[in-house]
Amino acid sequence: MSSEKYIIILDTNVLGSYKGNSLITTNFKYLSICKNIFINLINFIKDSILTQNISIAIPKIVIEELRFQQERTFNSQIKSLRENCVKFKELSNFKLEIPDHYDYKTHLTEKTEAFIGKYAIEIINYPPNSVLPKLIKKVLNKEKPFYKKKKQKDSGFKDALIWESIISKLIFCKNISFAAVFLSVKTKIPEC
Protein backbone atom coordinates (compact mmCIF):
# COMPACT_ATOMS: atom_id res chain seq x y z
CA MET A 1 0.00 0.00 0.00
CA SER A 2 1.33 3.44 -0.95
CA SER A 3 2.15 5.98 1.75
CA GLU A 4 2.00 8.93 -0.64
CA LYS A 5 -0.70 11.48 0.20
CA TYR A 6 -3.13 12.81 -2.39
CA ILE A 7 -5.16 15.97 -2.13
CA ILE A 8 -8.08 16.58 -4.51
CA ILE A 9 -8.86 20.28 -4.80
CA LEU A 10 -12.29 21.23 -6.14
CA ASP A 11 -13.23 24.33 -8.15
CA THR A 12 -16.57 26.18 -7.98
CA ASN A 13 -17.68 24.91 -11.37
CA VAL A 14 -17.21 21.29 -10.24
CA LEU A 15 -19.30 21.76 -7.10
CA GLY A 16 -22.10 23.94 -8.48
CA SER A 17 -24.75 23.08 -11.04
CA TYR A 18 -25.15 25.89 -13.53
CA LYS A 19 -27.45 26.94 -16.32
CA GLY A 20 -25.73 29.73 -18.20
CA ASN A 21 -24.06 31.77 -15.47
CA SER A 22 -26.75 31.09 -12.86
CA LEU A 23 -26.44 28.59 -10.04
CA ILE A 24 -29.25 26.02 -10.13
CA THR A 25 -30.62 25.64 -6.62
CA THR A 26 -33.14 22.85 -6.18
CA ASN A 27 -33.39 23.02 -2.40
CA PHE A 28 -32.56 25.97 -0.18
CA LYS A 29 -32.25 23.78 2.91
CA TYR A 30 -28.62 22.85 2.18
CA LEU A 31 -25.63 24.22 0.32
CA SER A 32 -26.53 23.38 -3.26
CA ILE A 33 -23.78 21.32 -4.83
CA CYS A 34 -23.65 19.05 -7.85
CA LYS A 35 -24.24 15.90 -5.89
CA ASN A 36 -23.51 13.50 -8.77
CA ILE A 37 -19.91 14.63 -9.13
CA PHE A 38 -19.29 15.06 -5.41
CA ILE A 39 -20.90 11.79 -4.29
CA ASN A 40 -19.13 9.86 -7.08
CA LEU A 41 -15.84 11.31 -5.86
CA ILE A 42 -16.63 10.41 -2.23
CA ASN A 43 -17.58 6.86 -3.28
CA PHE A 44 -14.39 6.54 -5.34
CA ILE A 45 -12.33 7.54 -2.32
CA LYS A 46 -14.22 5.16 -0.02
CA ASP A 47 -13.76 2.28 -2.49
CA SER A 48 -10.07 3.04 -2.97
CA ILE A 49 -7.39 1.15 -1.09
CA LEU A 50 -5.83 4.58 -0.54
CA THR A 51 -8.75 5.91 1.52
CA GLN A 52 -6.51 7.06 4.37
CA ASN A 53 -4.17 8.84 1.93
CA ILE A 54 -6.73 10.86 -0.05
CA SER A 55 -8.28 14.10 1.16
CA ILE A 56 -10.57 16.66 -0.40
CA ALA A 57 -9.82 20.36 -0.21
CA ILE A 58 -11.79 23.39 -1.35
CA PRO A 59 -10.36 26.90 -1.56
CA LYS A 60 -12.14 29.33 0.79
CA ILE A 61 -13.16 31.57 -2.13
CA VAL A 62 -14.96 28.60 -3.73
CA ILE A 63 -17.09 28.00 -0.63
CA GLU A 64 -17.79 31.72 -0.28
CA GLU A 65 -18.68 32.03 -3.97
CA LEU A 66 -21.13 29.11 -3.78
CA ARG A 67 -22.75 30.54 -0.64
CA PHE A 68 -22.98 34.01 -2.19
CA GLN A 69 -24.52 32.64 -5.41
CA GLN A 70 -27.04 30.57 -3.48
CA GLU A 71 -27.94 33.47 -1.19
CA ARG A 72 -28.44 35.72 -4.23
CA THR A 73 -30.67 33.06 -5.86
CA PHE A 74 -32.66 32.70 -2.62
CA ASN A 75 -33.21 36.48 -2.36
CA SER A 76 -34.18 36.71 -6.03
CA GLN A 77 -36.71 33.89 -5.72
CA ILE A 78 -38.17 35.32 -2.50
CA LYS A 79 -38.62 38.66 -4.27
CA SER A 80 -40.33 36.91 -7.18
CA LEU A 81 -42.52 34.92 -4.79
CA ARG A 82 -43.63 38.12 -3.02
CA GLU A 83 -44.47 39.72 -6.37
CA ASN A 84 -46.54 36.68 -7.36
CA CYS A 85 -48.34 36.55 -4.00
CA VAL A 86 -49.81 39.98 -4.68
CA LYS A 87 -51.90 38.41 -7.45
CA PHE A 88 -53.71 36.23 -4.89
CA LYS A 89 -54.34 38.84 -2.18
CA GLU A 90 -57.85 39.68 -3.39
CA LEU A 91 -59.12 36.09 -3.15
CA SER A 92 -61.21 35.37 -0.09
CA ASN A 93 -60.10 32.57 2.23
CA PHE A 94 -56.78 32.37 0.46
CA LYS A 95 -53.75 33.38 2.45
CA LEU A 96 -50.10 33.23 1.54
CA GLU A 97 -47.53 34.48 4.00
CA ILE A 98 -43.86 35.09 3.41
CA PRO A 99 -41.81 36.31 6.35
CA ASP A 100 -40.55 39.88 6.06
CA HIS A 101 -37.09 38.69 7.03
CA TYR A 102 -35.36 35.34 7.11
CA ASP A 103 -31.69 35.08 8.08
CA TYR A 104 -30.77 32.78 5.21
CA LYS A 105 -27.09 33.72 5.39
CA THR A 106 -26.79 32.28 8.92
CA HIS A 107 -28.80 29.20 7.93
CA LEU A 108 -26.58 28.59 4.91
CA THR A 109 -23.38 29.16 6.93
CA GLU A 110 -24.48 26.49 9.43
CA LYS A 111 -25.32 24.01 6.65
CA THR A 112 -22.02 24.72 4.90
CA GLU A 113 -20.03 24.09 8.08
CA ALA A 114 -21.95 20.83 8.61
CA PHE A 115 -21.15 19.77 5.01
CA ILE A 116 -17.45 20.55 5.49
CA GLY A 117 -17.38 18.62 8.77
CA LYS A 118 -19.33 15.62 7.46
CA TYR A 119 -16.88 15.01 4.62
CA ALA A 120 -13.75 16.18 6.50
CA ILE A 121 -13.05 18.75 3.80
CA GLU A 122 -9.96 20.85 4.20
CA ILE A 123 -10.48 24.54 3.47
CA ILE A 124 -7.57 26.17 1.67
CA ASN A 125 -7.20 29.68 3.05
CA TYR A 126 -6.55 32.79 1.00
CA PRO A 127 -2.97 33.39 -0.05
CA PRO A 128 -0.86 35.66 2.15
CA ASN A 129 -1.31 39.42 1.79
CA SER A 130 2.05 39.59 0.02
CA VAL A 131 0.37 38.11 -3.09
CA LEU A 132 -2.03 41.05 -3.45
CA PRO A 133 0.51 43.53 -4.94
CA LYS A 134 1.36 40.94 -7.61
CA LEU A 135 -2.31 40.54 -8.49
CA ILE A 136 -2.91 44.30 -8.50
CA LYS A 137 0.02 44.80 -10.87
CA LYS A 138 -1.43 42.20 -13.24
CA VAL A 139 -4.88 43.79 -13.06
CA LEU A 140 -3.53 47.24 -13.89
CA ASN A 141 -1.39 45.91 -16.74
CA LYS A 142 -4.30 43.77 -18.00
CA GLU A 143 -2.06 40.71 -17.89
CA LYS A 144 -3.48 37.21 -17.88
CA PRO A 145 -5.83 36.29 -16.37
CA PHE A 146 -7.06 39.89 -15.88
CA TYR A 147 -8.59 40.84 -19.14
CA LYS A 148 -12.13 40.27 -20.27
CA LYS A 149 -12.80 37.82 -23.01
CA LYS A 150 -15.97 37.73 -25.07
CA LYS A 151 -19.09 37.13 -22.98
CA GLN A 152 -17.13 36.95 -19.70
CA LYS A 153 -18.62 38.65 -16.66
CA ASP A 154 -15.42 39.03 -14.68
CA SER A 155 -11.81 39.25 -15.57
CA GLY A 156 -10.25 36.35 -13.69
CA PHE A 157 -9.76 37.63 -10.15
CA LYS A 158 -11.51 34.67 -8.51
CA ASP A 159 -9.54 32.21 -10.66
CA ALA A 160 -6.29 33.96 -9.78
CA LEU A 161 -7.23 33.93 -6.09
CA ILE A 162 -8.03 30.21 -6.24
CA TRP A 163 -4.75 29.49 -8.03
CA GLU A 164 -2.66 31.61 -5.64
CA SER A 165 -4.40 29.93 -2.67
CA ILE A 166 -3.44 26.51 -4.04
CA ILE A 167 0.14 27.60 -4.71
CA SER A 168 0.40 28.99 -1.15
CA LYS A 169 -0.94 25.70 0.21
CA LEU A 170 1.65 23.74 -1.77
CA ILE A 171 4.47 26.02 -0.60
CA PHE A 172 3.28 25.79 3.02
CA CYS A 173 3.28 21.97 2.79
CA LYS A 174 6.64 21.67 1.01
CA ASN A 175 7.98 19.33 3.70
CA ILE A 176 5.07 16.93 3.24
CA SER A 177 5.09 14.55 0.30
CA PHE A 178 1.78 14.61 -1.55
CA ALA A 179 0.31 14.88 -5.02
CA ALA A 180 -2.32 17.54 -5.68
CA VAL A 181 -5.09 17.22 -8.25
CA PHE A 182 -7.14 20.30 -9.18
CA LEU A 183 -10.60 19.43 -10.54
CA SER A 184 -12.21 22.11 -12.68
CA VAL A 185 -14.59 22.17 -15.62
CA LYS A 186 -12.40 24.79 -17.30
CA THR A 187 -9.94 23.54 -19.88
CA LYS A 188 -7.15 25.99 -19.14
CA ILE A 189 -5.24 26.63 -15.93
CA PRO A 190 -4.95 30.36 -15.27
CA GLU A 191 -1.64 31.97 -16.04
CA CYS A 192 -0.97 33.77 -12.77
Number of H helices and E strands in the chain, helices first, is 6, 6
Tell me how many domains the chain contains: 1
Query: 183 forms bridges with which residues in the sheet?
Result: 10
Q: How many CA atoms lie within 13 A of 6 on its CB side?
A: 14
d(CA 142, CA 38): 35
Is residue 64 assigned to a domain? yes
pTM reported for the whole predicted model: 0.76
Is residue 129 assigned to a domain? yes
Residue among 119, 5, 14, 10 at smallest CA distance from 54: 5
User: Residue 54 is part of which domain span?
Assistant: 5-183
What is the pLDDT tens value at each position of the chain, 192 positions in all?
456 788 888 887 777 766 666 666 666 766 666 666 777 787 777 777 656 778 888 999 988 988 888 888 888 888 888 888 888 877 878 777 888 888 988 988 888 898 888 888 899 999 888 888 888 888 777 777 766 666 655 567 888 888 888 888 888 776 666 777 877 776 555 554
Task: Return the percent helix, strand and coil in the chain, to nearest 5.
Answer: 50, 15, 40
